[in-house]
Chain A
């Protein structure tokens, strides 16, 4: 079974402070991990995927198979980062994409 856990429903940080949105997963095989973001009044959209090892809008996420985690990090939060962030996991083949409950990031000016 696939499971994604985002332990924080709400994370409030001050502008300029570091951000870490936590994501832990449960999957027996080799998963593919994603972070999706939903800004106010916008659609849910892909932020980044672990396979690309990319940095998008200053955010990075490293897959730690030992800790089964895929935390999203940014060194300096900006007000425009305020949004809902969802961690997602996909197993191999025709496996479904499983989403976490989401974390609301609130950046305080």
Chain B
């Protein structure tokens, strides 16, 4: 499958802990986007990377950080976890750095549960 892949699919952890979510974009896509979907909320944009560089930033908490590596995969690090961080975290990719007329290709998401 050459689509967007995210790992892990499910993750259960405790408050105060730190987790890393991983995303591999579609082959050939240079941009990676991270979204958070909490209960009763839409997809909240967190951050975008293009070819290793941060391109756009949303309402990402200071406890959260991300990076895109030379092989274009990306990791989202969530630290000092709180109950409210429980959510579905989506990664998406696109060919260029400006989505524009193009489209976002989504992964299946990583469901994080903080107990």
Residues of A within 8 A of B (CB): 4, 6, 32, 34, 36, 43-46, 49, 51-52, 86, 90, 93-102
Q: Give residues 62-78 of B contacting A (CB, 8 Å).
A: none
Docked CA distance A98–B103 (Å): 13
Residues of B within 8 A of A (CB): 3-4, 33, 35, 40-43, 45, 48, 55-56, 58, 90, 92, 97-101, 103-108
**Which residues from chain B contact A51 at a C-beta distance below 8 Å?**
101
Docked CA distance A49–B102 (Å): 9
What are 11 A-B pairs at a CB distance below 8 A? A6-B42, A32-B101, A36-B104, A45-B105, A46-B103, A49-B103, A94-B55, A96-B48, A97-B33, A98-B45, A102-B42
Docked CA distance A51–B101 (Å): 7
A94 and B98 form a contact (CB under 8 A): yes
